[in-house]
Amino acid sequence: MLRTDIENLFDAKPSGYTEADFRLFAAFKAALNAGEIRSAKPDGQEPTGWRVNAWVKKGILLGFRMGRIVDMSIDASRQPVFDKSTYPVRRMAADAGVRIVPGGSSIRDGCYIARGVTCMPPMYINVGAYVDEGTMVDSHALVGSCAQIGRNCHLSAAAQIGGVLEPVGALPVIIEDDVLVGGNTGVYEGTVVKARAVLGTGVILNRSTPVYDLVKGAVYAATDEQPLVIPGGAVVVAGSRAVTKGPGKEWGVSLYTPVIVKYRDGKTDAKIQLEDLLR
């Protein structure tokens, strides 16, 4: 029923929204906050292992359409804040089991934050995101709209996890369980990072740049139909590849490319082990 009503309201834009429409959206947002619905979910029948829920993304976009810009300032003279009325900062209580360390972090309403998540300041989690148990979102990290973050991940300082809210049929960025995302790393454009992968400092993953696997002798790249998928347990570092023709070759130019240099082993685990004492 919720799905049908959201899709009907999205597809047939009314001249104005009624109280019943706002109650419907409030129920939709509550389901997002509770993790009962999400913009993408695991599906073993899909090549990526994930299926997009386009109707959920429609509901999120609907909220932007329904909202009006209002003053959300805590102190308007010092720090004015104006945003859509449908997406205030999310209200959370201590019994949710989420650590939000003081210092300027923000979590937008309409996202799932599981027990045991740690939020180091300042970080930002956008609407539609799903952050599972035991994950740490470090300082200056971004979890973009609709991004899906698994259990026991570490999004290191200044990591940027893009979202992908539009188009509604596009898979958002997926970070599966036990992934380490290094500092100043960027994951964009619906990239899927499979479980236990390690992304080294400064790695950039998107649809445009292929990934070279030195271990398996393979090259991974996005296609028109599928996003870039990083294999489970892969250790990815920032690398380069030489331009092989034209002026670039003559000038000795190299292009950035991510490189898989190994697959996770005991030595890797020891280096990146998350400390329970911090949680």
Domain layout of the chain by residue ranges: 2-69, 96-268
Answering whether pTM is above 0.75, one says yes
As given in the structure block, the two tokens for residue 9 are 């309201």
State yes or no: pLDDT of 279 exceeds 70: no
- List C-alpha distances in Å: 89 to 71, 92, 125: 12, 9, 10
**For the chain, what is the mean pLDDT?**
95
Residue 51 half-sphere exposure toward CB, CA atoms < 13 A: 8
State yes or no: pLDDT of 275 exceeds 70: no
Place of tokens 């470090």: 138
For residue 269, the model assigns a pLDDT of 76
Asked if 49 contacts 31 with a C-beta cutoff of 8 angstroms, the reply is no
User: Over the stretch 15-70, which tens digit does the pLDDT of each residue have?
Assistant: 999 999 999 999 999 999 999 999 999 999 999 999 999 999 999 999 999 999 99
CATH classification code of 2-69: 1.10.166.10
Q: E strands of 47-202, at which residues?
A: 50-52, 69-71, 82-84, 99-100, 106-107, 112-113, 118-119, 124-125, 130-131, 136-137, 142-143, 148-149, 154-155, 160-161, 174-175, 180-181, 186-187, 192-193, 198-199
Q: Could you say which architecture CATH assigns to the domain 96-268?
A: 3 Solenoid (2.160)
Of the candidates 119, 79, 74, 85, which has an alpha carbon nearest to the alpha carbon of residue 101? 119
The C-alpha atoms of residue 89 and residue 108 are separated, in whole angstroms, by 5
State yes or no: pLDDT of 277 exceeds 70: no
User: Over the stretch 133-188, which tens digit does the pLDDT of each residue have?
Assistant: 999 999 999 999 999 999 999 999 999 999 888 888 999 999 999 999 999 999 99
